[in-house]
Amino acid sequence: MSRILATAISEFRIAFRNRWVSIATGMMVLFALVLAAAGSAPTGDVGVDRLSVTVASLTSLAVYLVPLLALLMSFDAVAGEVERGTLPLLLTYPVSRLQILLGKLLAHLAILALAVTLGYGAAALVAVWSDPGAVQGLGSLWRLIWTSVLLGATFLGAGYALSALARRPSGAAGLAIALWLVAVVLYDLALLALIVTDGGGAFTTRALPVALLANPADAFRVFNLSAAEAVAAAGGIGGAAGAIPLWQSAASLFLWPLAAIGLAVAAFRKVTL
Amino acid sequence: MTPTLTLSRLTKRFGGMEALKAVSLSLEPGKRAALLGHNGAGKSTLMKIVLGLIPFDGGEVSVCGAAPGSPSARAQVAYLPENVAFHPALTGEEQLRHYLALRGESPRQAMELLGRVGLAHAAQRRIGTYSKGMRQRVGLAQTLIGRPRLLVLDEPTSGLDPVSRRDFYDLLDGLAAEGTAILLSSHVLTEVEARTDSILILSGGQLVAEGTLAALRARAALPVAFSVFPAPGHEASLAAAFPEAAADADGHLRLSCTQAEKLPLIARIAALGDHVADLDVVPPSLEDIYSHFSRRDGQ
Ligand SMILES: Nc1ncnc2c1ncn2[C@@H]1O[C@H](COP(=O)(O)OP(=O)(O)OP(=O)(O)O)[C@@H](O)[C@H]1O
Ligand SMILES: [Mg+2]
């Protein structure tokens, strides 16, 4: 445990000096405030507090931004050590590759948690300021924070795996961008196209829920929307979320980080010098 | 005494190329061995195998009684890689605190370790601002953590200035006296000559010589060179007395003989009395002995 902690402390220092802490936090706060400002126009919605509305739009933002930040922080994790030549010495220390990755994960997760808490918190402040009744929505804000951390953990793990597979930072960066495009953008577009051609048939009722659970970003969106019972309002792919029990999307959210870290450790073990 | 490190018939191939060919050696506690050899001889490869960083193809390796790279071996072995590197954003002190924690030692020793390698003044600066020799010292400092039983140092003095080199070997003497076995590689023969217990010469992946410098000197049986300076006016008579000698441009006579013929030859020269102004005896240099053993095939 102390080895994981020591690694985490060094990684946090490095991320801080490379300005990753300020970049991640600044990005989250900026986007969250833009959303909050855009959403502050009076809506016809009655019965829903302003914070819950803000959280719903923050969820759509987080689906894109959290994986992106996680991949940006993680793609260099193994490839960077290989390129700098710091890996051979590190591997002669009595520390396992799992411990090394867990240490990096701990540091990067802490940064991500800080960034989303400050970002969402800023948007929440705006909401509560304009509508004191919005404090009712604090539960959904808390849920958004911890699910964002889990989503981040998945993409951090995936980033480490790509970093170990590529072994060069430039290659790892390319793979990370590709993964982001596929998992977060193209996947949903493809599903949407299938729904349209299917017209409410077998695909929409049977295959779609599985497809949504299989993608951590979609599971994140589905969980937050259905937990907030905002499914009907969300429409589109989110509309299918109603068919998925909450425990299933929660399970997907919790299992994906484990799978991603497992993958990362397996890929890291394959790195020889 | 059981050896700290034992290699028997170690073989390593990279594709079709044999980087190490049946290398056997052993190193006892408190002994300092120098690994010499031409570029590409296999020194770094041998060290990486001892550390468990790369696999090998044949033979056996035992490090402190364990398999190379096993947790028990890693806990007892310290390594200085050939081109040691650190994250440029960390300070020397932060980097050492990290390494101390990884070895389960108190991070508070960081400043003391940096002091031992003469880096205390730069401890709070980022390693990215260090000179090459300063980075090398950080590398040395981390090998001193937690009394390792075996030190594996790949060209440890590269980048160090002459005074630092001497300090470095003093440091090694202290460790060896406490029972640490030390395997180091070097291209600087003179420092190795005075400061290590035995010499191992690798050539093209083969261990071609092993032993103390005196033993290697005797085994090589290289000729001893003589320079004889004739007294003014006696050049011709001296040349006649030594028809086997070659005269150089300055009129000095150059002779060479085996170790066994050395004293009789000196007696012959001395017998010429005042015909000889001076005499230099040049024993085979370390470079001569080294190149005698490390000749590559076809060279
Ligand atoms: N990863 C590798 N893949 C292929 N060949 C390698 C690899 N590592 C080393 N070699 C080859 O093995 C041989 C021994 O290399 P090694 O680095 O051990 O030499 P060395 O004795 O340390 O040389 P130097 O004095 O230049 O440091 C060389 O021919 C080298 O090209
Ligand atoms: Mg080498």
Beta bridge partners of B230: B276
User: pLDDT digits over B38-80, tens only?
Assistant: 899 999 999 999 999 999 999 999 999 999 999 999 999 999 9
Gap between the Cα atoms of B63 and B72, Å rounded: 9
Identify which has the larger pLDDT, A209 or A9: A9
Instruction: State the architecture of B5-218 in CATH terms.
Output: 3-Layer(aba) Sandwich (3.40)
Give the residue from B154, B186, B152 showing the smallest Cα distance to B4.
Answer: B152
Partner-chain residue, chosen from A10, A18, A94, that has the shortest CB–CB distance to B103: A94
Q: Rg for chain A (alpha carbons), in Å?
A: 20
Identify the DSSP state of B6: E
Q: What is the mean pLDDT of residues A134-141?
A: 81
E strand spans, B29-114:
32-37, 58-63, 77-80
Identify the DSSP state of A94: S
Which pLDDT score, from 0 to 100, does residue A131 have? Answer: 77
Whether B42 is in the pocket of ligand 1, judged by its Cβ within 6 Å, is yes
Which pLDDT score, from 0 to 100, does residue A175 have? Answer: 95
Beta bridge partners of B255: B226
User: pLDDT digits over B247-295, tens only?
Assistant: 887 778 888 888 888 888 888 888 888 888 888 888 887 788 888 887 7
User: How many distinct structural domains can be found in chain A?
Assistant: 1
Which pLDDT score, from 0 to 100, does residue A266 have? Answer: 96
The answer to whether the Cβ–Cβ distance between B74 and A13 falls below 8 Å is no
Whether residue A1 lies within 8 A of chain B, CB to CB, comes out as no
Whether B192 is in the pocket of ligand 1, judged by its Cβ within 6 Å, is no
User: pLDDT digits over A208-234, tens only?
Assistant: 888 888 999 999 998 888 877 654 455
Taking residue B280's Cβ as centre, other Cβ atoms within 10 Å add up to 11
Which of B43, B54, B290, when mutated, tests ligand 1's pocket best, judged by the most ligand atoms within 8 Å of its CB?
B43
- Comparing alpha-carbon positions, the chain B residue that sits nearest to A18 is B89
Ligand 1 nearest atom to the CA of residue B15, by list position:
4
Which domain range does residue A168 map to? Answer: 2-269
Q: What is the mean pLDDT of chain B?
A: 89
Burial degree of A260 (CB within 10 A; 0-12, 13-18, 19+): buried
Give the residue from B104, B89, B184 showing the smallest Cα distance to B147.
Answer: B104
| Counts of helices then strands in chain A (DSSP H, E) | 15, 0
Looking at residue B6, its amino acid is: T
**CA of residue B44 to ligand 1 center, whole Å:** 7
Partner-chain residue, chosen from A13, A86, A94, that has the shortest CB–CB distance to B75: A94
Gap between the Cα atoms of A267 and A165, Å rounded: 6
Domain borders along chain B are 5-218, 223-283
Whether residue B74 lies within 8 A of chain A, CB to CB, comes out as yes
- What was the ipTM of the complex prediction? 0.88
Gap between the Cα atoms of A181 and B191, Å rounded: 58
Question: 3.30.310, 3.40.50, 3.30.70, 1.20.120: which CATH number matches B223-283?
Answer: 3.30.70
Beta bridge partners of B62: B6
